[in-house]
Chain A
């Protein structure tokens, strides 16, 4: 018998048309949705959804005609769960019995859901979740039921993984769109692992990634990887932001090359990659693991256009004085438009966006709770406007940063 679900109405929803840009913004105190026409000049906001709960994981799934927003609210008191909305936030469905749960035999209990990743377009009912404590869950029925991936849970390295500052979390899931069976995940602190057989077996893929904080600087695993991105048209091309260190791989993670060339710090959390050019990537350098703020009080996005041979600061529209900001590991996203839109959120609750590939930036919204995840998507399968309560129009134009 299917689990009973609660359908929770909300007082806020986003009005969306096909082709609109969507931002799913997870914060420490709920999820917010932002929407814009494709020109990305004016943004509407809806939320908070799940007020009081952190939302580290969110995704928009358009496969098989869906328009489903997935969210992973986590209450300090009542635990973490998966919820979804098929009407851009007007209503949310929450199963009474949470869908993602460790089996009794594992001895583990779910602390948080860090990542929700749809599978390939050719497998429209396949979904993945990365959770804390570090584990991968899979659903092969569009999210109705979930199972723990036994290959990774049973991996002999697992007992030696250690929690980073955010906990022992599996925070990155990269589904190779062209090579069936290939999945890459990242764990803090465990490193990068890859499966080439659909998740049955997993191999550490950290060769060349330095650990500044262990006697052996190049161990097989145990790296504190903060984020990995890949290029969908060239999935062998990866960029990696480590606890210290900035890397590129051209062979799907088999080997990594240090590409921290000309950045003020190779410490950082977030990464983005251009939707069409695999040589173009974005980061926000952070001073150090001790300080964890932008160097010199300047909020700068750094962009490479030559696969990491050089990086240039992007500052137009971003505060360059007294801006001691932090952008966390999942708080940067890139949309699919041309020119590409780049978005990031800060721990101080500011959401910035660029609709010209980083040349200029706009403060889209401020005053949000600490932002922990930003996901960009293009609305599909909407057909007509969602009939929700009118969303609030932000005043992005008037908030353009000096």
Chain B
């Protein structure tokens, strides 16, 4: 099964309006998965990562139910068929 990203509403203008993006390749890590996502949808990658390649401070990425910040960050392994959710943090003002 393909790894797929769950795209939150505010980012769907950058995914052509779709809410799930399935990757053709099987990424080993979250970083690989985002790289593959960015090849197809560069606007998504740019809004998940800073220009220095770090996850933006108020963006959370979950592989299944694990926040990658608790699972090795961008180097976290991605199981086959996993779902990666891009979720805005509960922050604002």
Contacts and interface: CB of A to CB of B under 8 A. Distances in A.
A97 B41 CA distance: 10
A79 B50 contact: yes
Contacts of A107: 52
Contacts of A78: 10-11, 47, 56, 59, 88
Interface in B34-84: 41-43, 46-47, 50-54, 56, 58-59
B91 A76 contact: yes
A102 B59 contact: no
Interface in A75-98: 75-79, 94, 96-98
A110 interface: yes
Contacts of B11: 78
Interface string A90-118: 00001011100111100111100000000
Q: Chain A binding site: helix, strand, loop or mixed by DSSP?
A: loop
B69 to A, nearest CB: 15
Given A77-B10, A77-B59, A109 B46 contact: no
A6 interface: yes
Interface residues of A, number: 22
A235 to B, nearest CB: 34
A160 interface: no
Contact of A102 (B51, B56, B89): B51
A8 interface: yes
A382 B88 CA distance: 39
Contacts of B93: 28, 76
B92 A76 contact: yes
Contacts of A109: 50-52, 54
Interface string A51-77: 010000000000000000000000111
Given A104-B51, A109-B51, A77 B42 contact: no
A101 B50 CA distance: 9
B51 A77 contact: no
B14 interface: yes
Nearest to B47: A78
A4 interface: yes
Given A6-B14, A96-B43, A77 B58 contact: yes
Contact of A76 (B14, B51, B58): B58
Interface of A: 4, 6, 8, 28, 52, 75-79, 94, 96-98, 101-104, 107-110
8 contacts: A8-B13, A77-B10, A77-B89, A78-B10, A97-B46, A104-B53, A107-B52, A108-B52
